[in-house]
Amino acid sequence: MRAVLAGIALLALWQAVVSLTAVPPFILPGPVAVLQAMGTNRGMLAQNAATTAAEIGLGLGLGVLTGLAAGLATALSDRLGQILRPLLVISQALPVFALAPILTLWLGYGMGSKVAVVVLITFFPVASALHDGLRATPEAALDLARLARAPRWRELMWLRLPHALPHLAAALRIAAVYAPIGAVIGEWVGSSAGLGHLMLLANARMKTDLMFAALAVLAAMTLCLRAATDAGLRRAGL
């Protein structure tokens, strides 16, 4: 309820600023104009939103799987950890905007380059959180497992992973918010469909209301993805 009231207050403030300052609509359209643009262009918005949603879903899934694999490898194998940890840091030291044009050049203007950007922007939080969580297992518990001569896989399943799950849950919540950002960045660099592509077209044609409408749809998709992630994690006890 508080979030709804805050949203209504924000929309009212937005409309008040537009009405009192008489700012031109091509600079800042009011919320009513944006809603009208959403209604008028609902088919176009839905079609491009479906493309962006597919990129987000596929990229987030691959990013999480890649992050899990990297996190397990760095935490359980010292040799692999020495190799992969610097690569993980380097992958985040390079801005995604700098890599997106290269990925578009390699993978083309289709969905592949956008999925790759989403993977790059989401796998690091998952890998880093899982690595830290697996390393955070109390040494006393690990000593007991070694005294009992527990196999390595049992130590992983029954000791390390339960301690790592809260860290992993926090990373998944972050990745759910980052994934739409990665998809839109890829679409801005080069695309033929998607909400980012629609924003560029609307901006070039001075249709600011349509650009805000696409942005509102993207924000709604992000909130829904975050809510779905929270609900799934709560159901899992996290």
Instruction: Answer yes or no: is 186 within a domain.
Output: yes
Q: Which two tokens stand for residue 129?
A: 């959180």
Nearest to 32, CA basis, from 194, 200, 216:
216
Instruction: Answer yes or no: is 97 within a domain.
Output: yes
Helices (H) and strands (E) in the chain, counts: 11, 0
Instruction: Answer yes or no: is 5 within a domain.
Output: no
Q: 127 with 88: CB under 8 angstroms?
A: yes
Q: Which two tokens stand for residue 107?
A: 């993978």
* Percent above pLDDT 70 for the chain: 91
User: Domain containing 110 — which CATH number?
Assistant: 1.10.3720.10
Instruction: Answer yes or no: is 24 within a domain.
Output: no
CA atoms within 13 A on the CB side of 62: 15
Instruction: Answer yes or no: is 6 within a domain.
Output: no
pLDDT of residue 137: 73
**Measuring CA to CA, how many Å separate 56 from each of 60, 150, 200, 217, 238?**
6, 40, 19, 14, 23
In total, how many domains does the chain have? Answer: 1
Q: 197 with 48: CB under 8 angstroms?
A: yes
Instruction: Answer yes or no: is 2 within a domain.
Output: no
Q: 233 with 173: CB under 8 angstroms?
A: yes
Instruction: Answer yes or no: is 140 within a domain.
Output: yes
Q: 203 with 142: CB under 8 angstroms?
A: no
List b or e across 121-147, with b for residues whose CB sees 16 or more CB atoms inside 10 angstroms. bbbbbbbbbbbbbbbebeeeeeeebee
**Which tens digits make up the pLDDT trace of 33-55?**
999 999 999 999 999 999 999 99
Q: 211 with 202: CB under 8 angstroms?
A: yes
pLDDT of residue 134: 82
Instruction: Answer yes or no: is 23 within a domain.
Output: no
Domain that holds residue 108: 30-236
Indicate the pTM of the whole model.
0.87
pLDDT of residue 35: 92
* Model confidence at 164: pLDDT above 70: yes
**Which tens digits make up the pLDDT trace of 87-136?**
777 766 777 777 888 888 888 888 999 999 999 899 888 988 888 888 77
